[in-house]
Amino acid sequence: MNLILLGAPGAGKGTQATKIADRYGLVHISTGDIFRANIKAGTEIGLLAKSYTDKGELVPDEVTCAIVRDRLTWEDCKKGYLLDGFPRNLFQAEELDKFAHIDGVVNINIDHALLMDRLCGRRVCRECGESYHVSTLGGKTTCARCGGELYQRKDDNPETVGARLAVYNEQTAPLIDYYTRKGIILNFTGSEAPAEALFEEVKAVLDKLA
Ligand code: ADP
Ligand code: ZN
Protein backbone atom coordinates (compact mmCIF):
# COMPACT_ATOMS: atom_id res chain seq x y z
CA MET A 1 0.00 0.00 0.00
CA ASN A 2 1.43 3.37 -1.05
CA LEU A 3 0.02 6.43 0.69
CA ILE A 4 0.33 10.20 0.79
CA LEU A 5 -0.25 12.19 3.95
CA LEU A 6 -1.65 15.65 3.28
CA GLY A 7 -2.39 18.48 5.70
CA ALA A 8 -1.33 21.98 6.73
CA PRO A 9 1.83 22.46 8.80
CA GLY A 10 0.86 21.69 12.40
CA ALA A 11 -2.11 19.49 11.46
CA GLY A 12 -0.38 16.58 13.19
CA LYS A 13 0.98 14.80 10.12
CA GLY A 14 4.17 13.69 11.85
CA THR A 15 2.39 11.91 14.70
CA GLN A 16 -0.09 10.18 12.40
CA ALA A 17 2.73 9.24 10.01
CA THR A 18 4.61 7.30 12.69
CA LYS A 19 1.46 5.44 13.73
CA ILE A 20 0.36 4.65 10.17
CA ALA A 21 3.83 3.48 9.10
CA ASP A 22 4.08 1.23 12.19
CA ARG A 23 0.70 -0.40 11.78
CA TYR A 24 0.90 -1.12 8.05
CA GLY A 25 4.64 -1.78 7.80
CA LEU A 26 5.24 1.17 5.49
CA VAL A 27 8.45 3.11 4.95
CA HIS A 28 7.91 6.65 6.25
CA ILE A 29 9.39 9.14 3.81
CA SER A 30 9.32 12.74 5.03
CA THR A 31 10.88 15.28 2.69
CA GLY A 32 11.10 17.75 5.60
CA ASP A 33 13.13 15.18 7.60
CA ILE A 34 15.34 14.49 4.58
CA PHE A 35 16.08 18.21 4.21
CA ARG A 36 16.73 18.67 7.95
CA ALA A 37 19.13 15.70 7.97
CA ASN A 38 20.98 17.16 4.99
CA ILE A 39 21.16 20.59 6.59
CA LYS A 40 22.57 19.07 9.78
CA ALA A 41 25.15 17.06 7.85
CA GLY A 42 26.11 20.09 5.76
CA THR A 43 25.65 18.36 2.39
CA GLU A 44 25.26 20.23 -0.88
CA ILE A 45 21.50 19.54 -0.84
CA GLY A 46 21.41 20.79 2.76
CA LEU A 47 23.14 24.06 1.88
CA LEU A 48 20.68 24.68 -0.90
CA ALA A 49 17.62 23.62 1.09
CA LYS A 50 18.48 25.78 4.11
CA SER A 51 17.91 29.06 2.29
CA TYR A 52 14.34 27.96 1.50
CA THR A 53 13.36 26.13 4.69
CA ASP A 54 14.57 29.09 6.80
CA LYS A 55 12.05 31.31 5.01
CA GLY A 56 9.24 28.75 4.92
CA GLU A 57 9.42 28.55 1.13
CA LEU A 58 9.44 25.38 -0.94
CA VAL A 59 12.76 23.90 -2.00
CA PRO A 60 12.81 23.89 -5.85
CA ASP A 61 10.72 21.15 -7.43
CA GLU A 62 13.54 19.63 -9.51
CA VAL A 63 15.62 18.98 -6.40
CA THR A 64 12.72 17.69 -4.31
CA CYS A 65 11.29 15.45 -7.04
CA ALA A 66 14.72 13.95 -7.79
CA ILE A 67 15.20 13.07 -4.12
CA VAL A 68 11.82 11.35 -3.85
CA ARG A 69 12.16 9.60 -7.18
CA ASP A 70 15.48 8.12 -6.07
CA ARG A 71 14.23 7.20 -2.59
CA LEU A 72 11.31 5.23 -4.05
CA THR A 73 13.73 2.97 -5.96
CA TRP A 74 15.22 1.64 -2.69
CA GLU A 75 14.44 -1.99 -1.95
CA ASP A 76 12.53 -1.21 1.28
CA CYS A 77 9.85 0.69 -0.66
CA LYS A 78 8.62 -2.61 -2.12
CA LYS A 79 6.70 -3.21 1.12
CA GLY A 80 4.81 0.05 0.64
CA TYR A 81 5.51 3.63 1.68
CA LEU A 82 3.96 6.70 3.22
CA LEU A 83 4.91 10.04 1.70
CA ASP A 84 4.80 12.82 4.31
CA GLY A 85 5.24 16.38 3.03
CA PHE A 86 5.38 15.39 -0.63
CA PRO A 87 3.85 16.32 -3.02
CA ARG A 88 3.31 19.92 -1.98
CA ASN A 89 2.14 21.48 -5.25
CA LEU A 90 0.52 20.41 -8.52
CA PHE A 91 3.82 20.12 -10.36
CA GLN A 92 5.16 17.65 -7.78
CA ALA A 93 1.88 15.69 -7.86
CA GLU A 94 2.03 15.35 -11.63
CA GLU A 95 5.68 14.31 -11.50
CA LEU A 96 4.90 11.72 -8.83
CA ASP A 97 2.25 10.20 -11.10
CA LYS A 98 5.03 9.44 -13.59
CA PHE A 99 7.03 7.25 -11.22
CA ALA A 100 4.66 6.00 -8.53
CA HIS A 101 1.30 4.39 -7.97
CA ILE A 102 -0.61 5.86 -5.04
CA ASP A 103 -3.45 3.91 -3.40
CA GLY A 104 -4.76 6.54 -1.01
CA VAL A 105 -4.28 10.11 0.24
CA VAL A 106 -4.88 10.65 3.94
CA ASN A 107 -5.96 14.29 4.18
CA ILE A 108 -6.10 15.93 7.61
CA ASN A 109 -8.32 19.02 7.59
CA ILE A 110 -7.88 21.35 10.54
CA ASP A 111 -9.03 24.78 11.68
CA HIS A 112 -6.15 27.07 10.75
CA ALA A 113 -6.74 29.22 13.84
CA LEU A 114 -5.12 26.41 15.85
CA LEU A 115 -1.95 26.18 13.83
CA MET A 116 0.08 29.27 14.69
CA ASP A 117 0.08 28.48 18.42
CA ARG A 118 0.67 24.77 17.85
CA LEU A 119 3.70 25.37 15.66
CA CYS A 120 5.27 28.21 17.61
CA GLY A 121 4.90 26.22 20.85
CA ARG A 122 6.11 22.96 19.34
CA ARG A 123 9.19 21.20 20.73
CA VAL A 124 10.60 18.20 18.93
CA CYS A 125 12.75 15.30 20.18
CA ARG A 126 16.17 15.24 18.53
CA GLU A 127 16.35 11.46 18.86
CA CYS A 128 12.93 10.03 17.98
CA GLY A 129 11.13 12.98 16.37
CA GLU A 130 8.19 12.96 18.81
CA SER A 131 6.62 16.41 19.19
CA TYR A 132 5.24 18.16 22.25
CA HIS A 133 3.63 21.49 23.03
CA VAL A 134 5.56 23.72 25.41
CA SER A 135 2.38 24.33 27.45
CA THR A 136 2.24 20.66 28.47
CA LEU A 137 5.92 20.21 29.28
CA GLY A 138 6.00 22.01 32.63
CA GLY A 139 9.57 23.13 31.95
CA LYS A 140 10.84 19.64 31.03
CA THR A 141 13.43 19.65 28.26
CA THR A 142 13.67 15.92 27.52
CA CYS A 143 11.47 13.46 25.64
CA ALA A 144 9.04 11.39 27.73
CA ARG A 145 9.34 8.57 25.22
CA CYS A 146 13.11 8.20 24.80
CA GLY A 147 14.84 10.78 27.00
CA GLY A 148 16.21 12.65 23.99
CA GLU A 149 16.77 16.40 24.04
CA LEU A 150 13.83 18.56 22.94
CA TYR A 151 14.49 21.46 20.60
CA GLN A 152 12.54 24.10 18.72
CA ARG A 153 12.68 23.85 14.93
CA LYS A 154 14.24 26.94 13.39
CA ASP A 155 11.19 27.42 11.13
CA ASP A 156 8.71 27.26 14.05
CA ASN A 157 8.67 31.04 14.60
CA PRO A 158 5.71 33.36 13.85
CA GLU A 159 7.16 34.88 10.69
CA THR A 160 8.17 31.60 9.05
CA VAL A 161 4.99 29.83 10.17
CA GLY A 162 2.99 32.60 8.47
CA ALA A 163 4.89 31.97 5.25
CA ARG A 164 4.45 28.17 5.51
CA LEU A 165 0.69 28.53 5.99
CA ALA A 166 0.46 30.87 3.00
CA VAL A 167 2.41 28.40 0.86
CA TYR A 168 0.08 25.62 2.03
CA ASN A 169 -3.05 27.61 1.13
CA GLU A 170 -1.78 28.69 -2.27
CA GLN A 171 0.14 25.65 -3.45
CA THR A 172 -0.69 22.56 -1.43
CA ALA A 173 -4.43 22.88 -0.71
CA PRO A 174 -5.29 22.51 -4.44
CA LEU A 175 -4.00 18.93 -4.17
CA ILE A 176 -7.13 18.06 -2.21
CA ASP A 177 -9.16 18.63 -5.40
CA TYR A 178 -6.56 16.87 -7.52
CA TYR A 179 -6.80 13.67 -5.50
CA THR A 180 -10.55 13.98 -4.98
CA ARG A 181 -10.94 13.92 -8.75
CA LYS A 182 -8.77 10.79 -8.89
CA GLY A 183 -11.09 9.20 -6.32
CA ILE A 184 -8.34 8.34 -3.81
CA ILE A 185 -8.79 11.04 -1.17
CA LEU A 186 -9.55 9.96 2.42
CA ASN A 187 -10.75 12.95 4.46
CA PHE A 188 -10.28 13.37 8.21
CA THR A 189 -10.72 16.24 10.63
CA GLY A 190 -7.92 17.10 13.04
CA SER A 191 -8.65 18.89 16.29
CA GLU A 192 -7.29 19.54 19.75
CA ALA A 193 -8.31 16.00 20.72
CA PRO A 194 -5.44 13.55 21.36
CA ALA A 195 -3.72 12.13 18.27
CA GLU A 196 -4.87 8.64 19.30
CA ALA A 197 -8.51 9.57 18.61
CA LEU A 198 -7.74 10.68 15.07
CA PHE A 199 -5.62 7.59 14.49
CA GLU A 200 -8.57 5.35 15.44
CA GLU A 201 -10.55 6.93 12.60
CA VAL A 202 -7.67 6.67 10.15
CA LYS A 203 -7.16 3.03 11.08
CA ALA A 204 -10.82 2.16 10.48
CA VAL A 205 -10.53 3.46 6.92
CA LEU A 206 -7.05 2.15 6.09
CA ASP A 207 -7.75 -1.33 7.44
CA LYS A 208 -10.23 -1.71 4.59
CA LEU A 209 -7.68 -0.52 2.05
CA ALA A 210 -4.69 -2.61 3.24
P1 ADP B 1 5.76 21.50 7.82
O2 ADP B 1 5.69 21.44 9.32
O3 ADP B 1 5.81 22.91 7.31
O4 ADP B 1 4.72 20.63 7.15
P5 ADP B 1 8.05 19.88 6.79
O6 ADP B 1 8.90 19.28 7.83
O7 ADP B 1 7.20 18.98 5.96
O8 ADP B 1 7.20 21.00 7.52
O9 ADP B 1 8.95 20.75 5.79
C10 ADP B 1 9.83 21.73 6.27
C11 ADP B 1 10.37 22.54 5.09
O12 ADP B 1 11.06 21.67 4.18
C13 ADP B 1 9.30 23.21 4.24
O14 ADP B 1 8.90 24.47 4.76
C15 ADP B 1 10.02 23.34 2.90
O16 ADP B 1 10.94 24.43 2.92
C17 ADP B 1 10.83 22.05 2.83
N18 ADP B 1 10.08 20.99 2.13
C19 ADP B 1 9.58 19.84 2.69
N20 ADP B 1 8.93 19.11 1.78
C21 ADP B 1 9.00 19.79 0.60
C22 ADP B 1 8.50 19.57 -0.72
N23 ADP B 1 7.77 18.49 -1.03
N24 ADP B 1 8.80 20.49 -1.67
C25 ADP B 1 9.51 21.59 -1.38
N26 ADP B 1 9.98 21.87 -0.17
C27 ADP B 1 9.74 20.99 0.83
ZN1 ZN C 1 12.26 11.02 21.86
The stretch 75-92 carries a mean pLDDT of 98
Q: Is 14 touching ligand 1 by the criterion CB < 6 Å?
A: no
At 3 the pLDDT is 98
At 144 the pLDDT is 96
Which residue has a Cα nearest atom 3 of ligand 1? Answer: 9
Q: Is the pLDDT confidence value at 67 over 90?
A: yes
Measured between alpha carbons, how far is 187 from 200 in angstroms, rounded to an integer?
Answer: 14
Measured in angstroms, how far is the CA atom of residue 83 from the centroid of ligand 1?
Answer: 12
Percent of the chain past pLDDT 90, that is, above it, reads 92
Please report the atom of ligand 1 found closest to the CA of residue 10. 2
pLDDT digits (tens, 9 = 90+) for 1-45: 999 999 999 999 999 999 999 999 999 999 999 999 999 999 999
What is the chain's percent helix, strand, coil content, to nearest 5?
50, 15, 30
Measured in angstroms, how far is the CA atom of residue 146 from the centroid of ligand 2?
Answer: 4
Say if residue 33 is exposed, middle or buried (CB neighbours under 10 Å; 0-12, 13-18, 19+): middle
At 194 the pLDDT is 83
Query: DSSP E strands: which ranges in the chain?
Result: 3-7, 27-30, 81-84, 104-109, 122-125, 131-133, 150-151, 185-189
pLDDT band at 210 (very low <50, low <70, confident <90, very high): confident
Task: For the chain, give every domain's residue range.
Answer: 2-111+189-209
Percent of the chain past pLDDT 70, that is, above it, reads 100
pLDDT band at 191 (very low <50, low <70, confident <90, very high): confident
- Residues ≥6 apart with Cβ < 8 Å to 144: 130, 132
* Active site (catalytic) residues: 13, 88, 122, 153, 164
At 193 the pLDDT is 81
Measured between alpha carbons, how far is 52 from 29 in angstroms, rounded to an integer?
Answer: 20
Mean pLDDT of the chain: 96
Measured between alpha carbons, how far is 166 from 161 in angstroms, rounded to an integer?
Answer: 9
Q: Is 58 touching ligand 1 by the criterion CB < 6 Å?
A: yes
At 146 the pLDDT is 97
Q: Is the pLDDT confidence value at 59 over 90?
A: yes
Neighbours of 207 (CB within 10 A): 10
Distance in Å from the first CA to the final CA of the chain:
6
The reply to whether CATH 3.30.870.10 applies to domain 2-111+189-209 is: no
Say if residues 106 and 175 touch (Cβ distance below 8 Å): no
Q: Is 168 touching ligand 1 by the criterion CB < 6 Å?
A: no
At 86 the pLDDT is 98
Say if residues 31 and 64 touch (Cβ distance below 8 Å): yes
- Residues ≥6 apart with Cβ < 8 Å to 194: none
At 192 the pLDDT is 83
